[in-house]
Structure 1
Amino acid sequence: MSKSKHPIDLSLKKLKHRNGLFLGDIWSYHLVDNNDSIPVQDTLESLKDKLEFHQTEKERHISEVTIPTSLINESNILVHKALVTGRSFMRDLNSGQHSYAEVTAYNGCLFWARCILLYLGIWVSPKKLHESFWIIDIYPSKEKSINGMFNFIKIGNKQPGHIEIWLILKRILNTSKNLPFDPHFLAFIDEIDETAIGFKRHQLQYLNNFWINSDDLTKDCISIDDLSWVKGFTPDIYAKLDLKDKSSDNSLIYFYFILARNCYFLLNKIKPSLPSIFNEEFEEINNSFNLIQILNQKNWLDQLIDDF
């Protein structure tokens, strides 16, 4: 038997295969009368409650309802962070600072990757829970009930990092069906070399002091009039994107836009089935996506394409 290429490969085989069902759909399996009153806890705390032994039935029910809410909340925060990085690296490009821009773009790519996983119901623990790191896989069983919805997968004592996030994303997209992504996007993700993109991360490590932590989104940088920027990336654009190219300042910036577009499709697929507590926040996120539309109007994407 051949050895696993990565320590968590065996754990990833335990992930449930998705088939056109997303985190938002899970709400249809919860009998919640007033979902505006559902508390939004920190994801780590809500999952720790779920893993505690000797819970009462009431505590268990609250935990099961709260965990999906916590994941949605965390994914929404990541959307905002990813959009902020978009504005930051485009500003760097505008000032001629390509190296700074690539540092920021990588952070944005990682935010989008984590966000996609959360919208699909997959959470990777940043801290130990009961002496181990975990992948929490939230997906209903075939009988569409709460029973068996939570799949706790131990991944050992080593904290998962950047390479593990890309491995998990590859695995879940490769084993799922009926996801609202570009077919070319799915094929592209399948070909990603997680070690190569991890090398990009380490290659840029010494520049990380230029990452802007205090940036935020403001109303005056957002337009809500048009979403025409959401247009198809053709196969030749994907072919030009090579994450193994150590000399390119554009590959990760390109990757950012590809991830953003497909995350937008996923967000709008699950939005109708989400609890009303998130209505206002999702409206704000939809408006914020127009930030990328504004950037596209400035022909940055066309310029990047011409540079390849």
Structure 2
Amino acid sequence: MAGAMRRHGCRRLLGTHLKDLLYTKHCVLFDCDGVIWNDEKAVVGAPEVVSLLKKHGKSVFFVTNNCTRPRDSYLHKFSRLGFSEIVQSDVLSSAYCSAVYLRDVAKVQDKVYVIGCDGVYTELHEAGVPVVGKEPDVPGATIYDCPLDSDVKAVLVGYDDKLNFLKLAKACCYLQDPDCLFLATDRDPWHPRPRGRVSPGTGSLVAALETAAGRKATVIGKPSRFMFECIASQFGVDPAHTVMVGDRLETDILFGWNCGVDTVLTLTGVSTLEQAQGYRDSPAPEEAACVPNYVVDTVADFLPALNEERKENPAN
């Protein structure tokens, strides 16, 4: 399969080929950042693409590793940027899926120590998962004298722009217990910021804690399969009739490979066509999984095929 992907990956998706692909797919998974919006600006044509897909009866889901906001906040952003008919069940963030994992898979009834932002805390709270970690530390407290909660049986690491040494040290102490679960929302190493700047991602925080604790985290978000399993279990989605559209090779495209779905790389975000072609031509077998089946400049490239199908089927 790897060889086939190398020979046929990175195929430009235009015209009839794009129309044929959309005809065979009943479910479309989109990443958000870099795919349908960049910061506070929708990618041109993205709201129309999502609307037309839904009008054509396609199931549309948004799978994002961005754990900084809860799902209801995502709904406000979708509305603010011109996307209509988006409901909460369409959105699966790594924060939400981490809460689902802790509640339904791990069935954690004790407390979870969280390194993360409000999006993680909100989703855990709404799932009924008891958490600690948001409480302000006593001024001047150190790992030598700060209190630790004996009821903590899991550590969850997400994006945290207020990370400090004491938070890492507390998590490391909890993880000395081999029965304490160690979870991460995602492994994204960095995130693009305006004016060409970047910020460390959750993956960099997880790597620090893995080094300190001598343990590996179970990752909930992409490229792990769990986000797709959440969709498949609730909505009966078939991988053979699903396509993943993303902008990051090592996250979105690898996620599609892991889930057995076709993948489309859009060039409005992190990864470039040259990087995708480099993976395709690389002799390293592990890089084959990061090669997209197809490439588009932008999700707006879907519009001609969707509009053509609408003309042929005016009842849609």
Q: Which has the larger radius of gyration?
A: 2
Normalising to structure 2: TM-score of the pair?
Answer: 0.22
Normalising to structure 1: TM-score of the pair?
Answer: 0.22
